[in-house]
Amino acid sequence: MTAQIIDGVALSKHIRAEVGRRAAALAARGTTPGLAVILVGDDPASAVYVRNKVKACQEHGLHSVLEKYDATLPEADLLARIAALNADPAIHGILVQMPVPRHVDPHKVIAAIATSKDVDGFSVHSAGALMTGLSGLRPATPYGCMKMIESTGIDLKGKHAVVIGRSNTVGKPMALLLLQANATVTVCHSGTPDLGQFTRQADVVVAAVGRRNTVTAGMVKPGAIVIDVGMNRNDEGKLCGDVDFAGVREVAGWITPVPGGVGPMTITMLLVNTLQAAEAAL
């Protein structure tokens, strides 16, 4: 069996077109959805991420502001900047690109963002809303993974999903979203002995580890949906995921590529969240 590819670029295009339409409808009512992106320091990967986020906003009728600060920016100044953006009616979403420099407490930064503008969905309030089934802004990466799973048309009710990774930004919210969709969920992590014992039982595998070849063909149940969140470099320096794509695609039913899978969907769901925040502010 050769898996069907879940194309994150094509799915993004479809969802972004809808974002553009909804943004135009809002603009007609006098509101342009606005995203503020804050970058502190000069981490090259972070600089690329923020540039892509701002560009995506501009291409789909959203207003975006990129604020870049030196790595020495005092924590208090950053918090003051966030407070000003919280009060700015032209800004509906605020994102501080992580990681922040060591002298800045990321928990304080996330807590400073108004819940209604927390488009990354990382705050304790947003996480609590997800956990308790209340509406709210969902973290973009797992939200995008759910859209990719939905695009297969497979109902998760009665299915077993295995999430590898338990970070607050990907693994844990992913597990909660799958649970909400009525899957039976297992969460694996670095302390899990014999990962394959779990993944071989899974109808859905979501790999969010940050280590290539974490999931290989012999670890996957035939026909499973395999979602690869990982972003790593192979020996040739090329971007790759956590899944051995060439091997696993011969076993799985559905698979996401890297690049062209979860990455573009993450940015797309950030746009959706910003739009949702702007609609809610009307």
**Would you name the residues annotated as active-site residues?**
53, 97, 120
Measure Cα distances from 279 to 42, 117, 166 in Å. 33, 11, 31
The distance of closest approach from Cβ of residue 87 to ligand NAP in the complex, given in angstroms and rounded to an integer, is: 29
Smaller CB distance to ligand NAP: residue 81 or 172? 172
Smaller CB distance to ligand NAP: residue 143 or 254? 143
Q: Are 239 and 264 in contact (CB under 8 A)?
A: no
> Given the rule CB under 6 A, which residues bind ligand NAP?
141, 164-167, 169-171, 188-192, 195, 208-211, 229-232, 262-263, 266
Helix (H) or strand (E) holding 95: strand 93-96
DSSP 3-state assignment of 133? coil
Of 92, 39, 95, 104, nearest to 67 (Cα)?
39
The distance of closest approach from Cβ of residue 241 to ligand NAP in the complex, given in angstroms and rounded to an integer, is: 8
Q: Are 183 and 160 in contact (CB under 8 A)?
A: yes
List alpha helices for 29-71, DSSP H.
44-59
Other Cβ atoms closer than 10 A to 49: 19
Smaller CB distance to ligand NAP: residue 183 or 187? 187
The distance of closest approach from Cβ of residue 147 to ligand NAP in the complex, given in angstroms and rounded to an integer, is: 13
Q: Are 224 and 204 in contact (CB under 8 A)?
A: yes
For residues 163 and 228, what is the distance between their CA atoms, to the nearest angstrom?
Answer: 10
The distance of closest approach from Cβ of residue 84 to ligand NAP in the complex, given in angstroms and rounded to an integer, is: 28
The distance of closest approach from Cβ of residue 281 to ligand NAP in the complex, given in angstroms and rounded to an integer, is: 26
Q: Are 204 and 162 in contact (CB under 8 A)?
A: yes
User: In the numeric block, which tokens belong to residue 97?
Assistant: 């690109």
Smaller CB distance to ligand NAP: residue 136 or 241? 241
Smaller CB distance to ligand NAP: residue 191 or 237? 191
Task: Please list, residue by residue across 238-266, b when 16 or more beta carbons sit within 10 angstroms of its beta carbon and e when fewer do.
Answer: eebbbbbbebbbebbbbbbbbebbbbbbb
The distance of closest approach from Cβ of residue 88 to ligand NAP in the complex, given in angstroms and rounded to an integer, is: 27
Smaller CB distance to ligand NAP: residue 26 or 271? 271
For residues 163 and 226, what is the distance between their CA atoms, to the nearest angstrom?
Answer: 10
